[in-house]
């Protein structure tokens, strides 16, 4: 499943109300590290298909949600389970590190 775009309007239903864990990538168009990790997140969305949804929130287009979660820099990644933040990671990281972080924060989650 490809990454999904989430807005301030859809955040509650797409992320907080999701049955599946959701990794939210808070990013911006002008952010080079955000662009650097985007391909890895797309690949990870396929690898973790059915285990986690990867969503993207553009902080410039949708500023309310990042403000609610006190996002101070991009990229910031947050994993939500049952409407609660269970893990946060800031900055650009290698795909392998992101994969490990996702797996660690899913209940018994392993890369398929």
Catalytic positions are: 31, 34
| Separation between Cα atoms, residue 12 and residue 83, nearest integer Å | 8
Question: Which of 64, 65, 48 has the alpha carbon at shortest distance from 105?
Answer: 48
Q: C-alpha angle 40/21/79, rounded to 5°?
A: 60
């Amino acid at each position: 499943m490809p990454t999904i775009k989430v807005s301030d309007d859809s955040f509650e239903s797409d992320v907080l109300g999701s049955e599946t864990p959701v990794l939210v990538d808070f990013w911006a168009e002008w952010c080079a590290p955000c662009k650097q990790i985007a391909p890895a997140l797309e690949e990870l969305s396929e690898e973790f298909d059915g285990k986690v949804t990867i969503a993207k929130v553009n902080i410039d287009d949708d500023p309310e949600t990042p403000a609610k979660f006190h996002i101070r820099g991009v990229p910031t990644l947050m994993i939500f389970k049952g409407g609660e933040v269970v893990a946060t990671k800031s900055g650009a990281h290698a795909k392998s590190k992101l994969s490990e972080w996702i797996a660690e924060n899913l209940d018994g989650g392993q890369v398929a």
